[in-house]
Structure formats: C-alpha cells, structure tokens
Amino acid sequence: MPAGGDGGGAFIVMPIDQPFVSSDLDPEVVVAHGWNYSNNVNRFGDVTFKSNAAACSRCTGGGLYVSSGLLILANKCKFEENDAGFWGGGLSLSGSSTMAIINESSFVHNLAPVGGTAIYSSAGGKFSLSSPSFEVSENTTSTFLDIPQGPDSLSLMSPNVLCPPGHVFVNDTIGPYTEEIDPWGFMNVSTWLVACRACPSNQYSLQAAHIIDGNLTNTTCPNCPDYTDCSLGGASVFALPGYWCGSSGGGREIGCLVSVGILPSGGSPPME
Amino acid sequence: MNNLFTKWGEYRPICELQSVPKNLCLHRPPSPLPPFLNKQTFFHSFIGGAIAVNATEASENITISLVDNSISENEARFGGVLAAVLLQRSVYASDMFLSFSGDVFKNNNASGG
C-alpha cells in the first residue's frame, strides 16, 4: 500500500494488470512472466517535474508515483530537484506488474535518503531506459537507480551520467538469478543498484566520474596528500595549519606550499 | 469512452465539507468538460500534490489528457485516498489512458498523513 503523501507531483494508480499464466505451468521450471497491459497506458511526453516533494518519512515518488499499467516517458521528460522522504526522489514505480519504457528523459539533482534518488522501482514488469541522463547531487549517499527485484530483461541503453566531483561511479547490478514468485513459480529476476559514491574518509578525488553516451570515465580515490585533511572524503581537501595547498596536474593532484616552495604530494617539508 | 471529469459531481460534498478553496472543485459538472484540458492552472489539490488518479476499482473506461498545463504549488494536506481525481468502481473492468504532454509539475508537496 502506498503511504499517504506518495507522489509529490502526481500520484497515479492504474487498473490492475492481469498476468499471463500458462494452463500447464510446471512449478519446477523457470518460466518467463508477463501481464496484459492492453488499454492500460500512462504516457508522459515533454513533461517536467520540478521541485516537488513527497515529504513524509515513508513517502516515495517525489516527482511521480505510478502503480500498475504501462508507463511511457518520452520526448525529453525532466525530473529536477524533486525530493522524497523515503525512496524514489524523481520517480517511484510500485505494483507487481508495472512496466516502464523511458526514453530520452533526464533526472537532475533529485533526492531520496533510502535509495533511488532518480528512480526506485519495486515493480516486476519490464523496465527499459533508453538514452537517459542522470545528474547526481553531492548531497546524497543513496543509489540513483534502485530496482531491488526487477525483471530479467532490464535494459539500459546509452546512458549519460554525471557524478559530483569526488565521486566514483558504482554499478552493483546483480543477476539474473532465480526467485519463486506467484503465480508463476520460479522465474529469473535482476537487481539494479547504481550509484555515485563519494571517496571515503582520508581519500579524495578532484575528478567527477561520468558516462557519456554509454562510455564510462570513472575516477579513483587516492590517499590523502601530505599536509592536508581529507576526513570528509569526496572532493573535500583542506590544508593543514601552516600550509597552502592547491590543485595541479590539470586538476588531478594536490600540491602544498610551505613558506617558499611547493611540495609535491608525498614530499617532505623543507628544512627550517 | 467516458471523460473522467463527468464524475466529479459525486465528490462535491467532500469539497464543501472540507471547506477547501472553490477552485479545488474546478472540474466538476454541471456541464461535462471536454476530455482535453489545455493551459489550465490547478491549485490546492487534496493528495498527490497536484493530481491523484486511483482507478483500481474503476468499471468504466477512462481517458485523461492534459496538454501544456502548469500544475504548481499544490499541497496535499490529507493522507489516504482523498484526491484531486479519484475513481472507485468494480475491479478488472476498466481501460485507462492517461496522456500528459508539455505539462509542468512544479513545487507541489504531498506531505501525507
């Protein structure tokens, strides 16, 4: 059941989709599954969800909450700066059958503390993302794409992802693997957990991981340079008292200045 | 196929009992509204921030099409199922088509109950 307050911009529960179940179903055999979505369609084209909030502590779908039916997002829909109290900052999909086809849509700086700042889906229907854009806020540690038990036919084509500075791109997608789900029995499912993770404490990066048209440029998190404090992780590097530090090497490295000279990372302070 | 908003008369008592602004009941009869609502501005919905559609028990076909609307600064002040758009009919009997094009949902807040 959705919590009161789900769907900050729009809250949509479609009619229940009827599952396709074979009459000679063998519960010991892994089968494909599906639902009949005919005449149960929810289409958004060139629609913007901006600065909406599903504000209660268990609320999902800051921009949009959809349960059941076939959801089509097309023609450059935008989800910007929406906020959910639980998961699904931009978009939350619920219901066992909900199917989503998302083309050329952007998810920018949405927030949800538990997971899926851009998209969270607990639905089991097919899920397709084509040419999506994700810009992840640095004010979150959550996944931006979170599908704990989706179908085996999850599809992600030509994504664009921009992580904040000091964050690496992490894809913890698992599967497909087999679960037993009514009314079909054994079936293959997948888990998608995709995130931009800040460099941990005492490491840093001045770079931002990004994906452009499906090509990943990730970053690494080297140890904190001498004479600096990186206890906050991410791209936060502070000079220790008595030193001046700045970036060098095209913004990739930190160097520190002591009195009259510049120390490369790992160097020793000059003799007094 | 029926226009969703011809059903709004049934919810008039809710609007009046809750002492909500008159424009909350913008879409109710007397005269059935066309299925396409263009360039409207919606204020002060009950739930879902701006629009809530609950058709899990609808028995009649429903078509909603919104084009180039600004749906802004709504606040859902009640949890549960009170909605700007709410249908309740029999199970498994409806076709439902929702179409949104060029609309902007902005600064809406569903705080729940």
- Here the ipTM equals 0.80
A100 and A188, same domain (yes or no): yes
Minimal Cα–Cα distance from A33 to chain B, Å?
Answer: 19
CB–CB of B92 and A48 under 8 A? no
Q: Are B5 and B27 in contact (CB under 8 A)?
A: yes
> Is A204 inside any structural domain?
no
Q: Is B17 helix (H, G, I), strand (E, B) or coil?
A: helix
**Domain parsing of chain B, residue ranges:** 2-103
Closest C-alpha to A9, from A45, A42, A43, A49: A49
Residue A253 is part of which domain span? 224-263
Minimal Cα–Cα distance from B89 to chain A, Å?
Answer: 10
Decide: residue B89, CB within 10 A, 0-12 exposed, 13-18 middle, 19+ buried: middle
CB–CB of B52 and A46 under 8 A? no
> Is A68 inside any structural domain?
yes
Q: Is the pLDDT of residue A268 over 60?
A: no
A29 and A82, same domain (yes or no): yes
A69 and A174, same domain (yes or no): yes
Rounded to the nearest 5°, which phi and psi values hold at A246?
A: -155, 175
CB–CB of B101 and A45 under 8 A? yes
B64 in A contact zone (CB under 8 Å): no
Mutate to test the interface with B, among A12, A57, A94, A97 (most CBs of B within 10 A): A12
> Is A54 inside any structural domain?
yes
B102 in A contact zone (CB under 8 Å): yes
> Is A219 inside any structural domain?
no
Q: Are B113 and B78 in contact (CB under 8 A)?
A: yes
A182 and A250, same domain (yes or no): no
The residues near A24 (Cβ < 8 Å, ≥ 6 apart) are: none
Q: Which of the four pLDDT bands, split at 50, 70 and 90, describes residue A170?
A: very high
Share of chain B above pLDDT 90, in %: 0
A243 and A185, same domain (yes or no): no
Q: What is the pLDDT of residues A29-49, one digit of tens each?
A: 777 778 888 877 888 999 999
Structural domain count of chain A: 2
A165 and A238, same domain (yes or no): no
Q: Quick one: closest CA in A to B78, which residue?
A: A4
Q: Which of the four pLDDT bands, split at 50, 70 and 90, describes residue B64?
A: low
A151 and A251, same domain (yes or no): no
> Is A80 inside any structural domain?
yes
- Find where tokens 């037993």 sit: A180
> Is A1 inside any structural domain?
no
A147 and A230, same domain (yes or no): no
A29 and A132, same domain (yes or no): yes
A99 and A17, same domain (yes or no): yes
What CA–CA distance (Å, rounded) separates B40 from A212?
Answer: 37
pLDDT recorded at residue A82: 95
Q: What is the pLDDT of residues A108-123, one digit of tens each?
A: 999 999 999 999 999 9
Q: Which of the four pLDDT bands, split at 50, 70 and 90, describes residue A192?
A: very high
A130 and A257, same domain (yes or no): no
More confident residue, A23 or A217: A217
A24 and A154, same domain (yes or no): yes
